[in-house]
Amino acid sequence: MTRNATGVRAEQLAEEYLLRQGLTLVERNFRCRMGEIDLILRDRDTLVFTEVRLRSARDFGGAAASVDRGKQARISAAALHFLAGKRERPCRFDVVVLDRLDAEAIEWIKDAFTA
């Protein structure tokens, strides 16, 4: 799957925002056969798997609603693959929502779902 420039920019804005909040980047765009994780960061001792969503229209609940159970399952499976063989540590799943390409339009939903 190819990534478009708008999606790449949304992920950059989200990454910059989260770094300003004190998180540390571990990896971006982790891919495996189970799925993809946009950003993996560390928040102190917690590993944060982050999905970035950009939606210009609010149809069907907007960007946050687009992280449905199927998407959550793919992110969770990819996270398990990433964690395989690594030391155990606390983890959480966050979603960063942008309704437009503007750092002022970021909504950070911590602990958006559980695996």
Residues 31-88 have pLDDT tens digits of 999 999 999 999 999 999 999 998 766 555 555 667 889 999 999 999 999 999 999 9
pTM of the model: 0.90
Q: Can you list the domains of the chain with their CATH numbers? A: 5-60+72-104 (3.40.1350.10)
Cβ-based neighbours of 15, under 8 Å, separated by 6 or more: 25, 28, 39
Number of neighbours of residue 114 by Cβ within 10 angstroms: 9
Q: Pinpoint the alpha helices (H) of 1-115.
A: 5-20, 62-65, 69-83
Whole-angstrom CA distances from 28 to 12, 47, 59, 62, 69 are 10, 13, 28, 24, 22
Query: What local confidence, expressed as pLDDT, does residue 1 receive?
Result: 44
Confidence of residue 4 (pLDDT cuts 50, 70, 90): confident
